[in-house]
Chains A and B, each alone.
Chain A
Amino acid sequence: MRTFIILSVFILCTATALSQNLLRKVSLQGNNIPLEEIISEIEKKADVQFSYSPDAISAGETISLDIYQKSIKYILNRYFVPRGISYKKVGGHIVLRPLGSEDGEDTTHFVDDKYYTLSGYLRDRRTGEMLIGAHVYEKDTYTGTSTNAYGFYSLTLPGGERNIVFSFIGYEKQVENVKLNKDKKLNVQLRESLLTMKEVEIIGRSDEAFFLNKQISEFRFSNKTLSKMPGITGDKDIIKSLQVVPGIETFGDGSSMFFVRGGSDDQNLILVDEVPMYNTSHLFGFLSVISPDAISDMEVFKGDFPVKYGGRLSSVVDLKTKDGNMRQFGFGGNIGPYTSSLYIEGPVVKDKSSFYISGRVSTLQWLPDLYFKNQDIKIGFYDINAKLNFKINDNNRLYATFYTGNDLLERKTTSSIETYGLGWNNILGTLRWNHVFSSKLFSNTTIYLTRYQYLMFLSEDRREYWKSSIANLSLKSDYTWYLNPYNTIKAGFQVSSHSLDAGNINLDGAASDLRDVPEYHSNEFTFYAGNSQKFFDSFILRYGIRVPIWQDLGPTTVYFFDENYDVIDTFNAKKNRVYETFISLEPRINLTYQVSPTTSFKAGYSRTTQFLNELNNSISPFTSLSVWVPSGPNIDPQKADQYSLGYFTGIKKNTFTFSAEAYYKNFHHYIDYAPHANMLYNPLIEGEIRIGDAWSYGLELMMRKPAGRLTGWFSYTFSRVFVKTAEINNGETYRAFQDRPHHVTIFGSYDTRKKWSFSANWLFMSGAAISTPVGFYDYNGYVAPIYDEKNNDRLPAYHRLDISASFRLNRNEHKRFRHSLSLNVYNVYGHSNPYFISFNRIFDTEGDLVIPADHYKPGKRIATELSVSEIIPSINYQFNF
C-alpha cells in the first residue's frame, strides 16, 4: 500500500500544471466505502487526478453514498469538507488536505505577481558528478524544468516560500524549502539510492517517461539504464543498446551501422562531449569505440532535433562522459575474455576539480592464437578516455576531454599477396567553458578537434598504405536564456573548418606523388535560435531556425561530368579559393499538448541538411571502405523533411507507459551508387554517385514497465523506406537496403534485490533488402547471374535472444568496494543470422566450399550465406571502489 501511495503522489508531481474540470459529473453508489476508493473511482470515471497523503486525511474512513450525475465539486463539498478535508485545484490536480493546513495560501491562485529565479547545479552527493536531465519542480504547482547537459537548471517562480523538488532516476528525491524573495542560487546534491532502498528508486524511475520537457522522438539512457542492457561480449555496449529503440534498425551482428527512420548510416551524428565521432566501431563493429563505464548519459533523437543540433539528417546520439569524483579517489574495471577495462577517478583539488581516466584494451588475441596456430594473425584495439574538469567559481567551469581509439587487424604470411592489414583510429579533443552570466543566462563555449582515419596497409612494415581521413576543428558557443517560466530561448553559433581525404596512397610513411584522389577543404558557419514556449497551461510550442552555410575551398581538383559520367571538364581551385557555397534554412517546430497529467499528444516538423557524406556502396561491414566527401558541385547537400506525431500515456498509475509515434520523412538528394562503383583510390569517385530521392514512413509502438522488480518493455515498429533515382533500376522506385518493415523488441530485467539480477532481450527484424539473381545462364564457361529489380529480395529475418545474469559477490552491499560476476549468452538459441548471400560458390569433390575461379574442378553450384555468431557466451568480472 505504501508503495502505491508514494507512487501515485509522485506521478502527480511529474506532470505540470493543467486545468481540470471540477464540474465533471459522476455517479457513485455504495455502502461503507473507504474514502480512498471513492477517490480512485472519481479519478477513473472523470479522468482527473487527486493528490493527497492518506494519513493526513484519514483516507481509510468509510462512508455510504448514492449519487447520480453530480459534479466533483458537489461530491467534495458534500462528503469531504464536512470530514475536515479541504480541496484545492492546483495545476492539473485536486489536492486534498486537512482543513486549516493551507499555510495561509490563497486556495486558488498565488497573489504575488513578482517572479524570482532559482538556479544552480545538481550533482551526485558522493562523487560530485553532474546529473543530466534531472527534474526540478515546485511541489504544489508542478512548474518544473530539467537540468541541462552540464547539470545546470534555472527555474522562475512567483515569490514566496516554495518547496522545490529535485529528483533523478536512481537517486533519492530531495525537497528544499526556499524563501524566494530575490533571485537565488541553490546547488543541490542528491544521494544515490542503494539497492535496499528500492522504493525510492522505483519512484525515481517511473518519471523517466513522462515529463513535459521531453521532446518528441527522443529516447534517453542514463548510465543506470545502460548498465542493464546486454552486450555482445558481456561488456555493455553503447551502440548495441540502440537496437532496442523503436525506429532504429541495426545492421545485425558484427556491425555498428544503424539506420534511423529510413536514413542511411552516415546520417547519424554521434557526439561525445559535443564532438562528432565518425566511426564508432571496434573490430568492425562488434563493439562500440567508447567504454560504457565512461558514459554518464546518452540521449537519442530520431528526428525533431532541438535546434542546437544539425549536420545530419536522421539522428543525433549525444553522449556525455563522466566528470570524475570530486570527493575521493576511486577505481573500477571489468575483466573479460574479449575486452578488459580500467578506470580511475578522483579529485585534483577537492570539490573544485576532478579527473576521470578510463582505458580499454582487447584481450582476444587468444582466439587467433588458438584457432589459427600457423598463421600470424593479429587483432586488437584499445581506447582511452580522459576528462578533467575544473570549477573556477560558481559561474565558471572548465572541462577538457580527450579520447583516442585505435583498431588494427593484420595477417602476415610469407607471401606478400596474402599479407594484409586494416586499421582505423579516432582522436578527439575538446575544451569547454560553462559560463553563467546570470541566473537566467547560461552559456557553454566549446573548441574541439576531431579526426578519423581509415588505413589499408600495403606492406608488411605498415609504411605503405592507403588512407582516407576526415578531420575538423571547430568553435561553438551555445546560450540558454531562461527568460521567464513560459519562454526558454536557445541560440548559438558554430564555426568549423573541415579537411577530408577521399583515400590516397602513402609510401614509406610519407605522402607519395600518387595523390590523384581529391582532398577537400570546407568551412562551415552555423547560426541558430529557438524558443520553447508554454501557453494555456497545457501547451508547449518549440520553434526555431538553424542556418548552416557551407563553403568548399581550394586547393583541390574538381571534375565535371556529362550525362554518361565521363569527365568533360576539370577545374583546379587555388588555395583558399571558394568554389562552392551552400546556404540552408532549417525550420523546426513542434507542439506538445498535455491532455492530462499522464497523457500527451505531440506533433512536429523539422528540416535537416547534411554536407558531409560517407561514400560506401558495400552492404557488408567487412568490405566497407570509409570515405568521406563534402557536398560540392557534383553532390548536392542532402536534405530531409520529417513530419511526426506522437501519443504518450500512462496506464494504471504509470505502472505501464505506452507511446505511439508516427512519422513521414522525405529525403532530397539521397545518395546511391552506380552499379559496380569503385570507391577505392578513384580520383573520379564523385562520378560514381547517383543522386535521387527517398521517402520513409513508419509507426513505432512501445509499452514499458519502468518500475518494480521486473522492468522492461515491448516494442513494435512498422517502417518502410523507398528510393527513386533516375539512373538506377530504370528510374523505378526500389526499396532501400535498410527497408526492414517489422521490428520487435522485448526486454525484461528482474532484480531479486538480493544478490542476483537477470535480464533477457529478444529481437526480431525483417531481413534487409538485397538484390538477388532472378535467373542464371552459362557464358563462356561461367555461370552468370541475371539481376532484375534492385533490392528485389530480402535476407532471412533476423532474430536472437540474449540472456544475462549478474551476481554480486559482496556480502555487504553498502561496502565501498563492490564486485560482481556477470554471465552473458548472446544468441542463446544459436540462430544463424546471415548478413550476406553469395551465388558464386561450389562444393568441390571433397565437399569444401570454394569460389569457382578454378574451372578445372567441377562441383555443385550453391548459394552460400555468411553469418556471424551462433552462440557467444562470456563471463565478466566487474569491480569498483
Chain B
Amino acid sequence: MRIKYLYILLLLLLSCAKEADWEPETSIDEHLIVDGIITNEGIIQDIYLKYSRAQLDEDAVPLSNADVIVNNEDSTWRFIEKSDEPGRYQSQRKITALSGKNYSLLILFDGKVYSAQSYMVPGKAFSELDYKKNDDNNLYHIDYVASAFEEDDPAMWEIFLDWSEVPGYEDHNPDDCRKRYCFIPSPHWM
C-alpha cells in the first residue's frame, strides 16, 4: 500500500478517482429503447431499436424483425433492418424532414404497437463562429455561439472542432485534434 498523503490535494483537483466495484442494486425490466433522429439533411436516416441493459459496459441487445414506419401528414417511410447490423433500421430513401410538420413513428413487434409523435421544430439561423485571438495568452476564443435561452424558441447547437490542419498540429494524431461540443442554452441561466 502506497502512502498517499497528497490525497488532500489530489482530491481538490478531482484526480483521485478509481474504478469502482459497483453492481447495480436493483434491476428493472428491460425497456425497449428507440433511438432515432429524423433531420432535414436529406440523407438515409437511421432508427436504432435496442433493449436497455443492466451493466454499464454491456452491449445492448438489439430488437430484430420489427416493422418500423415513419410518416408525416403527406408521406410514409418504411425503415428496414440492416442485415449486417441487427437493431439498426434504415430508411429506403433519403429523407428531408420539413419544419413545421408533425411526424409520427410506429413500431410493430410481436403483436405489440409502439408509437410516438414529434413536431419538427423550425431550425434557428446559425451565425458563423467567430474566433478572436487573445494576445495575453496566445489562445483563440469563441466569443459567441448563440443568444441566451428563449422559452418559446428552445434550441441547441452542436459544434465540431477540428484543428488537425492548424500550423503546429500537423504531426499530431488527427483523432487528438477533434472535439465535439454541445451548446445548450438552459433556462434560469445567466
Q: Does any Cβ of B come within 8 Å of A792's Cβ?
A: yes
A792 and B25 contact, CB distance less than 8 A:
yes
Q: Is the CB of B175 within 8 A of A284?
A: no
B19 to chain A, nearest CB (A): 5
Q: CB within 8 Å of B: which of A395-416?
A: 409, 411, 414-416
Task: Scan residues 829-881 of chain A and give those whose CB is less than 8 A from a CB of chain B.
Answer: 830, 832, 834, 837-839, 841, 843, 849, 853-857, 860-874
| Binary contact track B1-40/A, C-beta < 8 Å → 1, others 0 | 1111111111111101111101011111011010101000
Known pairs A834-B20, A854-B179, A863-B19; A870 contacts B57 (CB<8 A): no
**Are B31 and A786 within 8 A (Cβ)?**
yes
The answer on a CB contact under 8 Å between B25 and A778 is no
Partner of A372, one of B8, B9, B27, B56: B9
B127 part of interface (Cβ distance < 8 Å): no
A869: chain B residues within 8 A (beta carbon): 4-5, 7-8
Cα separation A860 to B48 with both chains bound (whole Å): 21
What is the chain A residue whose CB lies nearest that of B4?
A: A870
Decide: B56 and A772 in contact? CB cutoff 8 A. no
Nearest-CB residue, chain A, relative to B9: A367
Determine which of A414, A786, A862 lies in contact with B57 in the assembled complex, contact meaning CB atoms within 8 Å: A862
Choose among B10, B19, B54 the residue that contacts A775 (Cβ–Cβ < 8 A).
B54
Within the complex, the shortest CB–CB distance from A775 to chain B, in Å, comes to: 4
> Looking at the complex, which one of B17, B31, B51 makes contact with A865 (CB distance below 8 Å)?
B17
Contacts of A841 in B (CB 8 A): 17
Interface bits A201-216 vs B (CB < 8 Å: 1, else 0) = 0000000000000000
Category for how many chain B residues contact A: 35 or more
Nearest CB of A to B149, in Å: 12
Q: Does A110 contact B (CB under 8 A)?
A: no
A254 lies within 8 A of chain B by Cβ: yes
The CA of A678 and the CA of B186, in the complex, are separated in Å by 10
Contact A776 B1 (CB under 8 A): no
Interface string of A372-406 (1 = CB under 8 A from B): 10000101000000000000000000000000000
Instruction: Say if the beta carbon of B172 comes within 8 Å of chain A.
Output: no
Which residue on A lies nearest to B134, using beta carbons? A416
**Are B50 and A777 in contact, CB atoms less than 8 angstroms apart?**
yes
Which residues on the B side are within 8 Å of A862 (C-beta)? 19-20, 56-57
Chain A residues whose C-beta falls within 8 Å of the C-beta of B37 in the assembled complex: 780
The contact of B12 among A505, A622, A780, A857, by CB within 8 Å, is: A622
Residue B60 interfacial (CB < 8 Å): yes
Contact residues in A for B26 (Cβ distance below 8 Å)? 774, 788-789, 792
The answer, yes or no, to whether A571 is at the interface (CB within 8 Å) is: no
**Is B139 a contact partner of A367 (Cβ separation < 8 A)?**
no
A199 within 8 A of B: no
Q: Given A514-B190, A776-B56 in contact, is the A364-B11 Cβ separation under 8 Å?
A: no
CA distance A324 to B189 in the complex (A): 51
For A843, the chain B residues whose CB sits under 8 A away are 19
By beta carbon, the residue of chain A nearest B51 is A777
Q: How far is the CB of A343 from chain B (nearest CB, A)?
A: 25
Beta-carbon contacts under 8 Å, A85-142 to B: none
Chain B residues with Cβ below 8 Å from A867 are: 16, 18
- Which residues does chain B contribute within 8 Å of A777, judged by CB atoms? 31, 33, 35, 50-53, 60
Asked if B137 is at the interface (CB within 8 A of a chain A CB), the reply is yes
B133 within 8 A of A: no
B-contacting residues, A766-814, CB 8 Å: 772-780, 783, 786, 788-789, 792-794
A678-B188, A778-B33, A786-B31 known; A871 vs B18 contact (CB < 8 Å): no
Assembly CA distance A862 to B8 (angstroms): 24
Q: Which residues of B contact A535 (CB under 8 A)?
A: none
How many A-B contacts if CB must be within 8 Å?
A: 168
Q: Is B112 an interface residue (CB 8 A)?
A: no
> Hey, what's the 0/1 contact readout for B50-67 against A, CB within 8 Å counting as 1?
111111111010000000
**CB neighbours of B55 from chain A (8 A):** 776
Q: How far is the CB of B27 from chain A (nearest CB, A)?
A: 6
In the complex, the answer to whether B17 meets A776 with C-beta atoms within 8 Å is: no
Question: Separation in Å of the A850 CB from the closest CB of chain B?
Answer: 10
- For residue B33, which residues in chain A have a CB less than 8 angstroms away from its CB? 777-779
Complex contacts, A409 vs chain B, CB 8 Å? 12
Q: Does A681 contact B (CB under 8 A)?
A: yes
Cβ-defined contact, A788 with B28, below 8 A = yes
Q: How far is the CA of A167 from the CA of B37 in the complex (A)?
A: 79
A371 lies within 8 A of B20 (CB): no
State the Cβ distance, B133 to closest chain A Cβ, in Å.
13
Q: Verify A775–B8 contact, CB threshold 8 A.
A: no
> When the two chains form their complex, are residues B31 and A775 in contact, meaning their CB atoms are under 8 A apart?
yes
Residue in B11, B188, B190 whose CB lies within 8 Å of A622: B11
Inter-chain contact B20/A865, CB cutoff 8 Å: yes
**A786-B31, A856-B175, A862-B57 as given contacts; A254 in contact with B19, CB under 8 Å:** no
B22 contacts A863, CB within 8 Å? yes
Contact between chains at A772 and B25 (CB < 8 Å)? yes
B9 touches A837 (CB 8 A): no
Instruction: Provide the bound-state CA to CA distance between A794 and B10, in Å.
Output: 24
Instruction: Say yes or no for B178: interface residue by CB 8 A criterion.
Output: yes
Inter-chain contact B12/A774, CB cutoff 8 Å: no
* Docked pose: A873 CA to B4 CA in angstroms: 9
B8, A872: Cβ atoms closer than 8 Å: yes
Q: Is the CB of A871 within 8 A of B3?
A: yes
Q: In the assembled complex, which residues on chain B have CB atoms less than 8 Å from the CB atom of A849?
A: 17-19
* Given known contacts A864-B20, A869-B7, A870-B1, A776 and B190 CB-to-CB distance under 8 angstroms: no
- Contact between A778 and B48, CB atoms less than 8 A apart: yes
Rounded to whole angstroms, the CA-CA distance of A254 and B8 in the bound complex is: 8
Q: How far is the CB of B190 from chain A (nearest CB, A)?
A: 6
A682 touches B (CB below 8 Å): yes
Contact, CB under 8 Å: B14 / A866:
yes
Which residues of chain A are within 8 angstroms of B179 by Cβ–Cβ distance?
853-854
B56-A779 in contact (CB<8A): no
Asked whether A775 lies within 8 Å of B6 as measured between CB atoms, the reply is no
CB distance from B36 to the nearest CB of A (A): 9
| Across-interface contacts of B48 in A (CB, < 8 A) | 778
B2 partner residues in chain A, CB cutoff 8 A = 870
Q: Is the CB of B8 within 8 A of A367?
A: yes
Contact, CB under 8 Å: A830 / B1: yes
Interface residue? A286 (CB, 8 A): yes
**Bound-complex Cα distance A678 to B188 (A):** 8
Q: Contacts of B14 on A, CB cut-off 8 Å?
A: 622, 866
A774-B27, A780-B37, A792-B26 known; A379 vs B12 contact (CB < 8 Å)? yes
Top 5 closest pairs, chain A to chain B, by CB: A865-B20, A777-B33, A863-B22, A777-B52, A414-B137
* 8 more CB-based (< 8 A) A-B contacts, given A774-B24, A864-B19: A284-B12, A371-B6, A778-B35, A854-B180, A855-B180, A864-B17, A865-B19, A868-B11
Would you list 24 pairs from A and B whose C-beta atoms are within 8 A, ordered by A residue?
A409-B12, A678-B189, A772-B25, A775-B24, A775-B31, A775-B52, A777-B31, A779-B33, A786-B28, A788-B26, A792-B26, A837-B22, A838-B17, A854-B180, A860-B57, A863-B19, A864-B18, A864-B19, A865-B18, A868-B16, A869-B7, A870-B7, A871-B5, A872-B7
Chain A interfacial positions (CB closer than 8 Å to B): 254, 283-284, 286, 338, 364, 367-368, 370-372, 377, 379, 409, 411, 414-416, 505, 514, 622, 678, 681-684, 772-780, 783, 786, 788-789, 792-794, 830, 832, 834, 837-839, 841, 843, 849, 853-857, 860-874
